[in-house]
Amino acid sequence: MNVYETKNIRNIALLGHGGCGKTTLAEGMLYTAGGKNRYGKVENGTTSSDFDPEEVKRKISIRTSLIPVEWKEHKINVLDTPGYFDFVGNVKEALSVSDAAVIVMKASSGVEVGTEKAWEACETMKLPRMLYITEMDAPNVNYEAILENCKAKFGPSVAPMQVPWYDGEKYIGYIHAVKMVARRFEGDRVVECPIPEGYEDELHLVRTMILEAVAETDEMLMEKYFAEEEITISEIEKALKVGVANGDIVPVLCGNSVDRAGIRTLMDNIIRCFPSPDEAIHACDIDGKAGIFVFKTMVDPFIGKFSLFKVRSGKISRDDSLLNVRTGDTEKFVHIYVLQGKEQTEVETLNAGDIGAVAKLKDVSTNDTLCDKDANLEYEPIEFDKPYVKMAIFPLGKGDEEKMSTSLAKLMAEDKTFYTEYDKETHETVIHGIGEQQLDVIVSMLADKFKVAVKLERPTTRYRETIKGKMQVRGKHKKQSGGHGQYGDVVMEFEPSGDLEMPYIFEEKVFGGAVPKQYFPAVEKGLEECIHRGVLAGYPVVGLKAVLLDGSYHPVDSSEMAFKMATTIAFKEGVVKAKPTILEPIAHVEICVPEEYTGDIMGDMKKRRGRLIGMELKGKKQIIVAEVPMSEIYRYATDLRSITQGRGVVEYNFERYEEAPQDVQDKVIEARKEMA
């Protein structure tokens, strides 16, 4: 592959709803440009983008793939992103190095939730974008309705460039609404011809939308538009270049990726309208010292780890050594690659703005900055969505714990929205993900890639126990077995401390030396050991106040161990009689949904025993704040997306413990008995 100057590079993300045709479009671009000699299909598992066995099996993209396309002395780095919301981390990675985006829509579906999310992501990142409507040969396509919906959803910046041209039901070309000529498809090529009859109304509508968008970018053009003076083609094209770059104009193109109709026109417009990396919002420094940003990590059990990077400053060449800003270590780039899906092509140099990969560096992770040791650079890290779906994971094979742990660590290196933690209290490894589909892929990868079979279960909820009453009891431990015996005797009072964040408070009010002072620590030690396991279901005890009031001792048989045992006896009897109860963890939950889903969310919260704390309307989004038992929300992020067709998001964190309803307590106690 050739080495390209910065001005001849375009970095674009393909965004859109799951199944809208992004991967097929990437494949069509690559094939049309001569980058491969066989046109792959998603259904056959032969595309360059979807090369992972999981993607081939599921027929969806689960990771961002890099597809460099060489077209008319330019290099278009196409980042094909997943459309399913569980894999949003991969979308964030792609957007962090993209200078523009093509938002793909199916003509038969129009604007979908994923289209809206893609637009919002571009707005957040201030990325120039185009809308590309594919599958224009689907039956009963209503192009005008799609455009009107886009305009309603996304505003006046939407500027259609084409009117689709049909011969009966067959999509045969388009009318260029700027240059006012028709173009007919011949294979994947286009031939210019006169505008066909019968398209006057559609052409007027589309051209009006272009002129409105163009007029918004310049006061002089606005005056000409309202004065109904002609705006020339050169003025329109100049305004398009400026307007697209700053986000004031979003061109709409259409085609049919399966037979590659319109793909040449799309690639021409990507080069013509989108900025090169030195012109982009986050412009690369062509003349600066070498600096790269690692935006993605790929781990393969056989070939090892690849770090994908964008050259943000200067250029990087084979055998360069760069400083890792995070670790302070120097990393040597023995080989530099350009990836095309899973294919690797070694190159000598990559210039500012280009995207490449390097293998087997010592300690490099996603979000790392590597630069010349004198460069003083550090690039802004990607902010990944926090995962809120939790499951406990267990190996099925005997002795596979370590193998599972090592494999999970490799998968965490690849996906920063996935992580694991070991819960010392429940002795469970808990995995966290964006959604259940993502965790299902993790399980499948563990089995297929790393040969570790696992199962997922609902995590054990960390309940607590406490008491509501006050009780005074005697605990006596007396044992005679020849020689020295054992003797410890305590009178203790147990009551609520009022502080559920503290396991216990210990006090002594012994008068007259009934229990010698040297045994006080032993009594507290016995108490400390007891509170790890409550009397109802064996959960840790909190909010307990224990007071040593009285007791007795034997000058020969008493010992620290005997007083610990006496305390244990007192604890078990006293806590049982002091109205023990089970506490459940309560989460503070914040849910953001479009206003129309408020009623559905409120009803669902009620089923989960949630309590509404407050509501606030921000724009068209409703922020709902509630408190919900933690046991009810381990998979809530997935359920919320189901309720809102993917439009809702949730954040939650542990708030406090409070007493569980009696029916919940009964279930918890019964479940622990069965487990035991």
Residues 303 and 269 in one domain: no
Residue 378 lies in a domain: no
Instruction: Summarize the confidence of residues 562-578 as an average pLDDT.
Output: 96
Percent of the chain predicted with pLDDT > 90: 79
Confidence grade of residue 303 (pLDDT, cut at 50, 70, 90): low
What is the domain-level CATH number for residue 118?
Answer: 3.40.50.300
Q: What is the dihedral of CA 648, 654, 659, 662, to 10 degrees?
A: 50
pLDDT 10s digits, 538-548? 999 999 999 99
Strands 129-134 and 100-106 turn out to be parallel
Mean pLDDT of the chain: 93
Confidence grade of residue 260 (pLDDT, cut at 50, 70, 90): confident
For residue 195, pLDDT beyond 70:
yes
Domain endpoint, select from 273, 305, 330: 273
For residue 293, pLDDT beyond 70:
yes
Question: Which residues 6+ apart lie within 8 Å of 219 measured at CB?
Answer: none
Whether 4 and 76 have beta carbons less than 8 Å apart is answered as no
For 418, the domain range is 389-457
Structure tokens, 10: 């375009």
Residue 482's pLDDT is what? 67
From the CB of residue 481, how many other CB atoms can be counted at a distance below 10 Å? 7
- What is the C-alpha to C-alpha distance for residues 541 and 419, in angstroms, rounded to an integer? 29
Residues 311 and 393 in one domain: no
Number of domains in the chain: 5
For the ranges 123-127, 245-249, 300-304, which has the lowest average pLDDT? 300-304
Residues 367 and 499 in one domain: no
Confidence grade of residue 672 (pLDDT, cut at 50, 70, 90): confident
pLDDT 10s digits, 198-250? 888 889 888 888 888 888 888 899 999 898 888 888 898 888 888 999 888 99
Single-letter amino acid, residue 369: T
Instruction: Summarize the confidence of residues 345-350 as an average pLDDT.
Output: 95
Residue 376 lies in a domain: no
Phi, psi dihedrals of residue 442, rounded to the nearest 5°: -60, -45
Residue 571's pLDDT is what? 97
Residue 651 lies in a domain: yes
Residues 411 and 560 in one domain: no
Confidence grade of residue 423 (pLDDT, cut at 50, 70, 90): very high
Whether 441 and 433 have beta carbons less than 8 Å apart is answered as no
Confidence grade of residue 468 (pLDDT, cut at 50, 70, 90): very high
In 239-353, DSSP assigns E strands to 250-254, 291-300, 304-313, 315-317, 321-324, 330-332, 336-340, 343-347, 349-351
Residues 105 and 211 in one domain: yes
| Side-chain-facing half-sphere of 528: CA atoms under 13 Å | 7
Q: In Å, how far are 14, 135, 162, 181, 272 from 265, measured between CA atoms?
A: 16, 15, 11, 14, 10
Residue 480's pLDDT is what? 78
Residue 484's pLDDT is what? 78
Residue 20 lies in a domain: yes
For the ranges 168-177, 330-339, 365-374, 489-498, which has the lowest average pLDDT? 168-177
- 648: three-class secondary structure by DSSP: coil
Residue 532 lies in a domain: yes
- What is the C-alpha to C-alpha distance for residues 605 and 627, in angstroms, rounded to an integer? 9
Residue 258's pLDDT is what? 78
Residue 324's pLDDT is what? 97
- 357: three-class secondary structure by DSSP: strand
Strands 304-313 and 355-359 turn out to be antiparallel
Residue 614's pLDDT is what? 95
- What is the C-alpha to C-alpha distance for residues 119 and 129, in angstroms, rounded to an integer? 8
Residues 590 and 509 in one domain: no
Residue 81's pLDDT is what? 97
Residues 353 and 207 in one domain: no
Whether 353 and 9 have beta carbons less than 8 Å apart is answered as yes
What is the domain-level CATH number for residue 649?
Answer: 3.30.70.240
- What is the C-alpha to C-alpha distance for residues 357 and 336, in angstroms, rounded to an integer? 6
Classify burial at 562, counting beta carbons within 10 Å of its beta carbon; exposed 0-12, middle 13-18, buried 19 or more: buried
Single-letter amino acid, residue 109: S
Of 301 and 447, the structure prediction assigns the larger pLDDT to 447
For residue 188, pLDDT beyond 90:
no
Residues 59 and 74 in one domain: yes
Residue 284 lies in a domain: no
- What is the C-alpha to C-alpha distance for residues 281 and 634, in angstroms, rounded to an integer? 39
Q: Is the dihedral of CA 32, 34, 35, 40 positive or negative?
A: positive
Whether 474 and 566 have beta carbons less than 8 Å apart is answered as no
Residues 63 and 87 in one domain: yes
Residues 60 and 160 in one domain: yes
Residue 442 lies in a domain: yes
Residue 302's pLDDT is what? 63
